[in-house]
Amino acid sequence: MRIAFLMAPEGVEQVELTEPWQAAKRAGHEPVLVSTDSGKIQAFNHLDKADTFPVDEVVGETSAGSFGALVLPGGVANPDFLRTDEKAVAFVKDFFAEGRPVAAICHAPWTLVEADVVRGRVLTSWPSLRTDIRNAGGTWVDERVKICEQGSSPLVTSRNPDDLPAFCDAFLHVFAGAAG
């Protein structure tokens, strides 16, 4: 399955990109780095610059329909940039409209809030998003990983990098069920 990993040109938390990416590859999926601009994205280790990664496809030149699922890595700046980009928000909305599974970790649910897809769903995130999620009609829980099957698209969420093993196991399980 082709899995879109959507991120802004900078600000993604590197481990929240690399660990799910490697987990997807090990499971036989094809991860694809999608961004709002071509070239490379700049990852971060918290607030320090880390590695760069090449962009495979650009939002606006690709579609949700060419992927089986979506992963939204976190970092504070990454989802904040994405939620201000109309094409990125529309790309995320399309996954939900088409019933494709989505996984988001840490601050990434900010993009889901902007896409107006958390209403009626139960999810987790970095704790500072709790009020935003509740104001957008979602229910926030403090759990390592939360799988929400409500609505047309399964949604997997986690709180932070410490939750990555549970996050990767959960999204791979949900994505396999969606592909089957």
Distance CA 109, CA 103 (A): 9
- With a CB cutoff of 8 Å and minimum separation 6, the contacts of 135 are 113
Write the DSSP assignment of 48-72 as a string of letters: EEEEEEE--EETTSS-GGG-SEEEE
According to the model, what pLDDT value does residue 151 have? 83
Range 2-179 classified under CATH 3.90.1580.10? no
Residues with a known catalytic role: 106
2-39: per-residue pLDDT in tens?
A: 999 999 999 999 999 999 999 999 999 999 999 999 99
141-179: per-residue pLDDT in tens?
A: 999 999 999 888 999 999 999 999 999 999 999 999 887
Instruction: Indicate the pTM of the whole model.
Output: 0.97
Domain boundaries, the chain: 2-179
| Long-range own/partner contacts, residues 136-145 (CB < 8 A, 24 or more apart) | 138/113, 145/169, 145/170
